[in-house]
Structure 1
Amino acid sequence: MAQANTDSQFKARILKPRTPGSDNRWGFVILPKEVSAKLPRRGRTTVEGTINGKPFTVLLEPDGKKSHWLKIDQPLFESSGADFGDTVELEIWSAAEELEPEVPSDFSQALSASPDAKSTWENTTTISRIDWIHWITSAKQEKTRTKRIHDACDMLASGKKKVCCFDTSGFYSKAIKAPEAAD
């Protein structure tokens, strides 16, 4: 079966996050819905592309509105020559392989404490690991996150490879959204 064409070219303005956290300088763009619609998933998905002609590979995040947002980290800012408020030229396409997600330290420790869960984890697909991590990190309260880590380890230890009943796009649950832009 031939893979659908996911190539898109568009212009977008770089937004500054209202609350950037402790990260280094970063910005973001919201993908146009028609660009996002060409991608294989409404949840987190890896794309390759260019910003002002400079190449990148990133894991797009869902915006909760049936589209995605792209984080522009400090190195990408520097290579693109762009700044907050600038309109940049972007080209993106689905990556041939998903980027392996970074496992949060609390979840990694829990997996290490459960050999059965860790074994199942290591035998799942990258997409499934992305979804498990997304489910855990989308918890709004620490209590919920802790429970999800415990539940994930239990489910993985029982051989379950995919998290069930989690809206990876955030559209139905409203738990996932793009950052708010500063004024």
Structure 2
Amino acid sequence: MSHSMINGIEFQTVLEPDGNLGHWMRVDDALQRAAGISAGDTATVDIEMTADWSEPGIPPDLATALATAPLQIQSLWNEITPMARWEWVRWVNATRNPDTRRRRVDVSISKMQNGKRRPCCFNLSACTDPDLSKNGKLIESGDGHT
């Protein structure tokens, strides 16, 4: 989690792994408008890391599974760190295939039932946004930008 500025406009974001041992950040349309930038523009970016991880947005399928899970799993979810919760969410979100996603939600609940606090099979250096990745690496445009 970082507290940052782009062209003097303050914002917070999570730096995501890019699959090449680096990171990337999303600059959404609202932030682009506020900072007066668009794709291809050069911007001044200052990034400050925060000491604490923010809470991830829990996707509805995982939220439902957690809400209906045994109390032991709900307690474990509340005990783990926000960083660990981010890892579970990233792992579930890292596929576009609905069957794979359902399996990942089920496996998450099963692993937590067995006391697992993190999805140990998850490669943390991999990009986790399937719309922006191919084989775990960010898709690059012809000019080398993502």
TM-score surpassing 0.5?
Answer: yes
For the pair 1:157 / 2:113, whether they are aligned, the reply is yes
How far apart are the structure 1 equivalents of 2:142 and 2:2? 26
Partner of 1:91: helix, strand, or coil? strand
CA RMSD of aligned residues (A): 2.0
Higher strand share: 1
TM, length-normalised to structure 1 = 0.68
Given candidates 104, 107, 111, the residue that maps to 2:66 is 111
- 5+ unaligned residues in a row in structure 1: which ranges? 1-45
> Unpaired segments of 5 or more residues in structure 2?
128-133
Structure 1 residue ranges, 4+ long, deviating more than 2 angstroms after superposition: 174-183
Alignment check: 8 A CA contact 1:62 1:176 kept: no
How many pairs does the alignment contain?
Answer: 136
1:96 match: secondary structure? coil
Q: Deviations over 1:65-115 (max 9, x none)?
A: 111111001221122111121111111121221121000000111111103
Which moved further from structure 2: 157-166 or 58-67?
157-166
Q: Using the alignment, how far apart are the partners of 1:139 and 1:133 within structure 2?
A: 11
Residue in structure 1 matched with residue 2 of structure 2 by the alignment:
47
SS in 1 for 2:64: helix
Provide TM-score, normalisation by structure 2. Answer: 0.83
> Does the residue aligned with 1:71 lie in a helix, a strand or coil?
coil
Q: Report the Cα offset of residue 158 of structure 1.
A: 2.6
For the 8 Å contact 1:117–1:155, the answer to whether it is kept is no
> Identity rate of aligned residues, in percent?
33
The structure with the greater share of residues assigned to helix is: 2
